[in-house]
Structure 1
Amino acid sequence: MLTKRENLLETIHGGHPDRFVNQFEFLAIIMNDPIRATYKAPKYGELNVTNDWGVTRSWPVGTPGPFPVHDDAHRLLKDITQWRDIVHAPSPKMPEAAWEPAIAAAEAVDRRDRFVANFQAPGLFESLHYFMGMEDTMMNFYEEPEEMHDLIKYLTEWELESARETCDHLHIDAVFHHDDWGSQRSTFMSPAMFEEFFVPAYKEIYGYYRERGVQLIVHHSDSYAATLIPDMIDMGIDIWQGIMTGNDVRKCIDTYGGRISFMGGIDSAAVDHPDWTRQEVADQVRRACTEYGKLYYIPSASQGGPMSTFEGVYQALTEEIDKMSKELF
């Protein structure tokens, strides 16, 4: 029987996996590194928590996750031309003692079985709308492109410094990076605009990780992004995690399998809701596994992590995927 790591590599390289890769089983995501603490996310039910970047977020009861607060009292950046005076990245250089829990977590992982991964969120695009709101972000691509390029460069340099510290301390061999690039129906920008503003930055970031020995780059965007797949390949992404059914997953696999793999194919909204049933989960898993096949595809919900909003859903998905492995392999 292949290890989780071996089975993942067989799947994404078009080899001979002996079962479906089951959601996030192949990643040991280190969540307690000290750089993550600068983002200071609110807990469920907490409101108006401000992190070290100056971004205020809330996680209201009954919602799936935290999101920035952009009323006049809390929006960080109201004029993009003033960003140099307002946006101040926290230093990624932490005291050595602060790294000890994360180092211990990384050292406890059997790297023959799983990849050790850092977690980076928000991504470049998400950081922009965290600072200034979605409407201003989108307008500034048109009205103030030079300022947006400069701000993206500033964020990229911070990510590279953060990556250097993380690689030095944790010796990761995988990256799990979030950045949502669209809604369920469309990308937030055209491929041409995406290529202008974001492809060079991500090529630099992911290229640095490769230089440091990272073998696997997993990028989360639970959205429509099928038109950006050539750019994802150009960036060096190995797995697009979060692919939703509206992307025509089967077509994506047929067109790009072998150059990039796809993780998702089960929309979280279809299974992860207050009245979820085991039968719904089983039906969605069976549909995905039979329709999308054994190679270049990893069945999972579209949510960006080994979790579910409602208790029991993630475990139910895991169990149903195991059943399909026994049936189809």
Structure 2
Amino acid sequence: MNQRENVMAVYRGEQPDYYGDLMAAVDFILDPLFVQDALIPQDGKEYRDSWGTVKVFLPGSPGPHPHLTSENVVVKDIEKWEQQMVVPDIENLDWTQARETAAQIDRNEKLACFFYPGGLFERSHFLQGVEVGLMNYLEYPDETAAMLRVIADHKMAYIRKVAEETHPDIIFYHDDWGTKQNLFLPPQVWRDIIKPLQKEIADTIHECGMIYMHHADCILEPIVEDLVEIGVDIWQGVIAQNDIVKIQALTKGKLAMIGGIDGPKIDMENITEEEIRKEVRRAIDTYCPAGRFYPSIPNGVCFREWNNEIFMDELSKYGREYAQKHPIA
């Protein structure tokens, strides 16, 4: 099997040649809006993105990030969000680079994956600040839901445009709904405000003939059955702090997952080679028996070169060995 065939075998619950990270089998098409917003100088100065959020790119940091104060946030008063929020135009974007990249992907060998960060929850706190945004979900649920309705409509229109321009196999949608300890919002608040809109987004992705892969490298255990109801096809970023075996039982094979290897546990100084290899084997042995599982580090790699070489070597060797020794009936 080539890379595409192998990861799709796992996706369909069929026998693969090996178990490994699905992300190794994708080629990315970058979101033109994201590229436009991310191309700011790495000088620590403030710049506004297409939604008006102030961002800075500090020297030495991996990328730009929001730099919000009570004075520079876009939505200063949730009751006046309609006057304060400006929705980016999607009609005049330059799709040339995205189309060219998409055309160069060998779809027989790889999956074309459109990188689409900044989901509903993330955009809501980018516009208001985290603390105020979280409080507004609780104190002003109607206003927050109305604001997210407009953001969701923009996202669905954009997804249709993405499909028209580049025809991806996968939409790689980002929205971190929690931390390593818990969800940011009470589950019922998430269900009342975010879930209905996220279902519409999922439906749009599927109507356009694409796989919906959702990135959230955090705790999502309390809402995993909701993910299935929404229509999430693949959850990328499954951290080991979730009870993954329990989640696999709850979702009954309806949710493919990528992750399970505890990256921070093995991406450290003063760790032995065997300890790294042991963690990789633990994840494969524990989570692959349920099927539709791609063992990986949720963020993809170890940042320390020596650690990453060992991690990748063990994943390649043991992922293949496990597949050969445990054939799917």
- Please, what TM-score do these two structures have when normalized by structure 1? 0.89
Other-structure match for 1:22: 21
Q: Distance in 2 between matches of 1:312 and 1:89?
A: 44
- Which of the residues 63, 79, 82 maps onto 1:81? 79
Counterpart selection for 1:326 from 312, 317, 320? 320
Structure 1 pair 313/165, CA: closer, same or farther in 2 (3 Å)?
A: farther
Offset at residue 186 of structure 1 (A): 0.9
- Paired residue type of 2:320: K
Q: Equivalent of 2:50, from 49, 52, 77?
A: 52
Structure 2 counterpart of 1:159, one-letter code:
K
Task: Give the Å deviation of 1:323.
Answer: 1.2
Deviation at 1:271, TM superposition (A): 3.2
CA distance in 2: counterparts of 1:248 and 1:68, whole angstroms: 31
Counterpart AA for 2:318:
M
Unaligned runs of 5+ in 1: none
Question: Deviations 1:46-86 (Å, cap 9, x if unpaired)?
Answer: 44332121111234456665432122343232211222222
- The alignment partner of 1:219 has SS state of strand
8 Å CA contact 1:253–1:296 kept in 2: the answer is no
Partner of residue 226, structure 1: 221
Contact 2:18 2:321 in 1 (8 A): no
Amino acid in structure 2 at the alignment position of 1:323: K
Answer whether contact 1:41 1:57 (CA < 8 A) is retained: no
Kindly indicate whether residue 259 of structure 2 is the aligned counterpart of residue 264 of structure 1.
yes
Q: Which residue of 1 aligns with 2:231?
A: 236
Q: Do the aligned partners of 1:173 and 1:213 also contact (CA within 8 Å) in 2?
A: yes
Output the TM-score relative to the length of structure 2: 0.89
* Structure 1 residue 257: Cα displacement: 4.1
- 1:180, distance to aligned residue in structure 2 (A): 0.4
Deviations 1:266-301 (A, max 9, x none): 233223457776555323212211221252211111
1:140 is matched with: 136
Percent identity over the alignment?
A: 27
Equivalent-residue separation in structure 2 for 1:128 and 1:116 (angstroms): 28
| Alignment correspondent of 2:101 | 105
Contact 2:120 2:151 in 1 (8 A): yes
CA contact (8 A) 1:34 1:94 kept: no
Counterpart residue type for residue 326 of structure 1: R
The one of 103, 106, 110 aligned to 1:114: 110
Comparing 265-274 and 283-292, the one that deviates more: 265-274
Residue 159 (structure 1) shift: 0.4
Among 190, 202, 211, the residue aligned to 2:207: 211
**5 Å matches for 1:179-198?**
179-198=175-194
After superposition, what is the alpha-carbon deviation per residue over 1:4-34, rounded to whole angstroms, capped at 9, x for unaligned?
2222222133221121033412222212x42
How far, CA to CA, are the matches of 2:238 and 2:80 in structure 1? 36
Aligned equivalents of 2:23, 2:311: Cα separation in 1: 11
Cα 1:192–1:72 shift into 2, 3 Å = closer
SS at match of 2:32: coil
Distance 1:326 1:106, change over 3 A: same
Indicate the RMSD between aligned Cα atoms, in angstroms: 2.4
Tell me the distance in 1 between the aligned counterparts of 2:63 and 2:307.
16
Match of 1:34 in 2: 32
Instruction: Answer whether contact 2:19 2:320 (CA < 8 A) is retained.
Output: no
Shift of residue 113, structure 1, vs aligned partner: 2.2
1:104 and 1:44, CA in 2 relative to 1: closer, same or farther beyond 3 A? Answer: same
Secondary structure of 1:131's aligned partner:
helix
The match for 1:92 is 90
SS of 2:23's equivalent in the other structure is coil
Specify the code of the residue in structure 2 equivalent to 1:290: D
Amino acid at match of 1:72: S
Change (3 A) 1:277 1:104: farther
Choose the corresponding residue for 2:159, options 163, 187, 193.
Answer: 163
Contact 1:241–1:263, Cα closer than 8 Å, also in 2? yes
- Asked whether the 8 Å contact 2:171–2:212 carries over to 1, the reply is yes
- In the alignment, the residues of structure 2 paired with residue 150 and residue 127 of structure 1 have an alpha-carbon distance, to the nearest angstrom, of 14
CA distance in 2, matches of 1:228, 1:250: 15
Partner of 2:327: none
Deviation at 1:265, TM superposition (A): 0.8
Does the CA contact (< 8 Å) of 2:20 and 2:316 recur in 1? Answer: no
C-alpha contact 2:221 2:247 (8 A) present in aligned 1: yes
After superposing the two structures, state which structure 1 stretch, 100-109 or 46-55, moved more.
46-55
Contact 1:222–1:302 (8 Å) recurs in 2: yes
- Deviation, structure 1 residue 210: 0.9
